[in-house]
Amino acid sequence: MRGETCIRGATFLSFVALILLIFMHVGQINLSTVPRQISMAKVNVSAFGIGLASATGDPTPGLYGTNASAPLQQQNGLRDIYVWGLYSHCAYLNGSQGTCGNVTFANQLTPFDSMLADIPGNYTVTTRFLISKPNTTFTNTSFLQTASKAAFYLIFIGTICTFLAMLSGIPKSTITFLTASVFAAIGALLLLVGAAIWTALIHEISAINHLNVDSGAPLGIEVTFGNGLWLLWAAFAVLAVSLFPYFVSCHTYRKRY
């Protein structure tokens, strides 16, 4: 009976991990109540206009968009907040009204390019110079694309392994319990690496938070971790905990005839 008890616990834990991952995956795919609340990273540029004006000595009329539903990446004006999920990124005015880009498999983290694509043309050159001058990871689009894409595939495959671990633990046999253990172990490892990559990326680009323009005023860009990343770490932790009962069930389960 100990083996059956352990496998029930392990299956429940893998189910919880899967639910957490599902919530993480739906982040920013649209503006519905749940997806818009979940993100991997947030970039607040609501104060960038002040930084730009301080750097140039000129006002910045028209820098920000006024139509929250205007399409992104068409120089319709900068939005206050940009948020990234695994499949899309969205931009918001006033924290709640916004629009999302196209839903893309393996969406990539490109905060600098996304800003430039929204900024009106008369501010593009100045903005590019101002943000690129410190030479931070924030502007290293190629690196961010490669790393975030790699992290996506690790997380995606890890999610599949989590699902297979849960399913494999339902049939009662030593072989299926062992299979579930293997899937859980692989899934936990992939989720760990994927979460670590995302954490490192956000930490690196957040260096821009502390930059000032030549006048001494803050640049006005703030990068923060999204709650989707914490869901990912929580899913990894829960799945990792499930490994113990999975392995115990492999050694203690005895089929009753």
The whole-number pLDDT of residue 216 equals: 81
CB 120 within 8 A of CB 62: yes
| Alpha carbon distance 14, 173 (integer Å) | 18
Q: What is the CA radius of gyration of the chain?
A: 22
Q: What are the sequence ranges of the domains in the chain? A: 2-252
Per residue in 144-165, pLDDT tens? 999 999 999 999 999 999 999 9
Half-sphere exposure of 132 (CA within 13 A, CB side): 12
| Alpha carbon distance 115, 133 (integer Å) | 16
What residues of the chain score a pLDDT lower than 50? Answer: 1, 256-257
The whole-number pLDDT of residue 60 equals: 87
- Return the H-helix or E-strand segment holding 83: strand 81-84
pTM confidence score = 0.91
Q: Assess if CATH 1.20.140.150 describes domain 2-252.
A: yes
